[in-house]
Amino acid sequence: MNKILVCIKRVVDYNVRIRVKPDGSGVVTDGVKMSVNPFDEIAIEEALRIREAGNAQEVVVVSIGDSESQQQLRTGLAMGADRAILINTDSEVDPLAAARAFKALIDKESPDLVIMGKQAIDDDCNQTGQMLAALWDRPQATFASKLELSDGKARVTREVDAGLETIEVDLPAVVTTDLRLNEPRYVKLPDIMKAKKKPLETLQLAELVADATLQVNANNWAAPEARSKGVMVNSVDELISALRDKGLVA
């Protein structure tokens, strides 16, 4: 295999407590720690392991966002990726526009495998990988908890509602990663310094996608309601009576 393309997203760090803006126009991001989407970090780690096993020659990380997304791309380079590409835009990008941008980049880069997280923790859409596979007209293997490559094929163990499912797809293909696939490596300071010298190319979204208009607009954001206190009951009859009072049972 010649090249693996890893798609990553800049998101609010998963340890940060999300706060909604007072006007309900979004979530507070000023002064908030931003990180690589955790599922995408797993995708980077898996691509690096494939390369280190001698099954790939190059790992390229790519992200869509403004100039600040370079920080997350540098994290990918510090982990061990060979080079990075930023698809620059100051506008919000939905899954379909992201998939179209990645498809245009695939046409330029010709990777043998595309890996990304199964979903981003900011919108939880779980759509980009599937849309990209459809646009690319290549097989997809989503929710991967194990990935094995051999003879131009990928054998993927998937996490599904009923348990585990194993499928085999021809390469090139799109694989989306689940949490149990691996544990990303710790980035050391010398690797961070080396990453500053690795190539990071910037492309404009408009160069790759003619129309990146949002298909769905979020007009209002609200924090979830505070959980109400539980009620202690002393018997099954009291429980049924309490549920009946709330209209939960007839």
> Tens digit of pLDDT for each residue in 26-80?
888 888 899 999 999 999 999 999 999 999 999 999 999 999 999 999 999 999 9
Looking at every residue in the chain, the average pLDDT score rounds to 92
Helix axes 70-79, 38-52, angle to 10 degrees: 30
The Cα-based distances of 238 to 77, 228, 235, 244 in angstroms read 60, 19, 5, 10
Q: What percent of the chain has pLDDT over 90?
A: 72
Q: What is the mean pLDDT of residues 121-147?
A: 95
CB 29 within 8 Å of CB 136: no
Structural domains of the chain in order of their starting residue, each with its CATH number = 3-245 (3.40.50.620)
The span from the CA of 65 to the CA of 87, in Å, is: 6
- pLDDT computed for residue 236 by the predictor: 92
Segment 66-119, tens digit of pLDDT: 999 999 999 999 999 999 999 999 988 999 999 999 999 999 999 999 999 999
Nearest to residue 141, comparing CAs of 162, 115, 122, 119?
115
pLDDT in tens, 192-215: 999 999 999 999 999 999 888 888
Collect all residues with Cβ–Cβ distance below 8 Å to 208 and sequence separation of at least 6.
87, 100, 101, 104, 105
Query: 172 pLDDT exceeds 90?
Result: yes
